[in-house]
């Protein structure tokens, strides 16, 4: 297991924001996870994957961090032609490409989600009117007693961009159902990728979407777009002109800049529409 101390957290988030760490643990096996039991059970220990959807304070994070970025990196396989078993550390893009090569339909939507399967499970990530928990059979987790447990999908309550993690400390791996009723479309992955490149700032420093959609019929991006503030910038953080629910770090941005821009946009939406938008990004 690799352990790093007092290093910049900017390198552990996709928006590249944050001060220094106290200590980061990088477990590589289930044995490493078991050895981290005491650390994992501490209330302020933070568990991260690739660092999408999060930002750290400019003052850093003062408690321990466990990064699953190096955990079980090769675990992805087909079981009995019915399921896909995949480790939480595998990126969403890698799973989508794996399924595409195997002519398995139904997972193309994951290709452009900038995070790991564990992160996708934690927030019920989705795109193109699909969400990952719609395909889950069961998950192996570390529960809040520090024990490894297998849980069936039906035992976990999920909703839009939300998962009831009442007894879940972290996800280890997941068993996904292959829906053979879905027709494999050879060009669908390419079409989704092309659409994302045209409509989202995929090669810039961002965390992904900043706000959750208030409802299925009201995208947060449409509310922001109507405010006509696409070029608004605070410090080194600005609203993307390609997709206004993405905030971009120009390389000099701070967490303070990000928070101020989030508050600014939230207040304008509340004032104009009397709608309170909820942050999708987690700030620590």
Q: Are 54 and 282 in contact (CB under 8 A)?
A: yes
- Whether residue 276 is predicted with pLDDT greater than 80 in this model: the reply is yes
How high is the pLDDT of residue 212? 92
Q: Where do the domains of the chain lie, and which CATH numbers do they carry?
A: 2-67 (3.30.43.10), 76-177 (3.30.465.10), 202-283 (3.90.78.10)
How many other CB atoms are found less than 10 A from the CB of residue 25?
22
Mean pLDDT value of segment 222-242: 93
- Whether residue 45 is predicted with pLDDT greater than 80 in this model: the reply is yes
DSSP 8-state assignment for residue 183: P
Residue 217: both structure tokens together: 């019929």
Q: How confident is the model at residue 114 (pLDDT cuts 50, 70, 90)?
A: confident
pTM comes to: 0.88
How high is the pLDDT of residue 257? 98
How high is the pLDDT of residue 271? 96
How high is the pLDDT of residue 258? 98
How high is the pLDDT of residue 99? 96
Q: How confident is the model at residue 112 (pLDDT cuts 50, 70, 90)?
A: confident
Compute the Cα dihedral for 206, 210, 215, 221 and give only its sign: negative
How high is the pLDDT of residue 133? 96
How high is the pLDDT of residue 270? 97
Q: What is the pLDDT of residues 122-132, one digit of tens each?
A: 989 888 889 99
How high is the pLDDT of residue 14? 95
Q: How far apart are CA 160 and CA 158, in angstroms?
A: 7
Q: How far apart are CA 241 and CA 248, in angstroms?
A: 10
> Within its chain, how far is the Cα of 213 from the centroid?
16
Q: How confident is the model at residue 69 (pLDDT cuts 50, 70, 90)?
A: confident
How high is the pLDDT of residue 3? 97
Q: How far apart are CA 121 and CA 151, in angstroms?
A: 13
- Whether residue 73 is predicted with pLDDT greater than 80 in this model: the reply is no
Report helix, strand or coil for 262: helix
φ/ψ (deg, to 5) at 70: -110, 5
Mean pLDDT value of segment 232-239: 96
How high is the pLDDT of residue 205? 97
Q: How confident is the model at residue 203 (pLDDT cuts 50, 70, 90)?
A: confident
Residue 33: both structure tokens together: 């996870």
Residue 116: both structure tokens together: 């790991």
Q: What is the pLDDT of residues 125-173, one digit of tens each?
A: 888 889 999 999 999 999 999 999 999 999 999 988 889 998 999 999 9
Q: How far apart are CA 90 and CA 88, in angstroms?
A: 6
Please give the residue that has the higher pLDDT: either 268 or 125: 268
Q: Which helix (H) or strand (E) holds 140?
A: strand 136-143
How high is the pLDDT of residue 129? 84
- Average confidence score pLDDT of the chain: 93
DSSP 8-state assignment for residue 133: G
Q: How far apart are CA 230 and CA 110, in angstroms?
A: 27
- Whether residue 74 is predicted with pLDDT greater than 80 in this model: the reply is no
């Amino acid at each position: 297991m690799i352990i790093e101390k007092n290093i910049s957290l900017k390198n552990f988030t996709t928006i590249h924001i944050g001060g220094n760490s106290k200590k980061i643990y990088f477990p590589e096996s289930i044995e490493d996870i078991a050895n981290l039991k005491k650390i994992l059970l501490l209330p302020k220990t933070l568990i991260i994957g690739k660092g999408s959807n999060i930002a750290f304070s400019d003052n850093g994070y003062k408690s321990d961090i466990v990064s699953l970025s190096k955990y079980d990196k090769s675990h992805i396989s087909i079981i009995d032609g019915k399921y896909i078993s995949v480790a939480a550390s595998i990126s969403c893009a890698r799973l989508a490409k794996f399924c595409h090569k195997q002519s398995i339909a139904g997972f193309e939507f994951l290709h452009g989600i900038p995070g790991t399967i564990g992160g996708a499970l934690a927030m019920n990530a989705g795109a193109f009117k699909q969400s990952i928990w719609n395909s889950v059979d069961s998950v192996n987790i570390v529960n809040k007693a520090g024990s490894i447990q297998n849980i069936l999908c039906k035992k976990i309550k999920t909703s839009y961009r939300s998962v009831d993690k009442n007894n879940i400390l972290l996800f280890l791996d997941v068993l996904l159902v292959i829906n053979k009723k879905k027709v494999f479309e050879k060009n669908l992955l390419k079409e989704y990728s092309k659409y994302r490149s045209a409509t989202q700032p995929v090669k810039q420093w961002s965390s992904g979407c900043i706000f959750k959609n208030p409802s299925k019929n009201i995208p947060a991006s449409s509310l922001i777009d109507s405010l006509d503030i696409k070029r608004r910038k605070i410090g080194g953080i600005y609203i993307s002109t390609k997709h206004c629910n993405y905030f971009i770090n120009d390389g000099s941005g701070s967490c303070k800049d990000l928070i101020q821009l989030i508050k600014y946009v939230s207040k304008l939406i509340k004032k104009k529409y009397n709608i309170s938008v909820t942050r999708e990004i987690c700030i620590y």
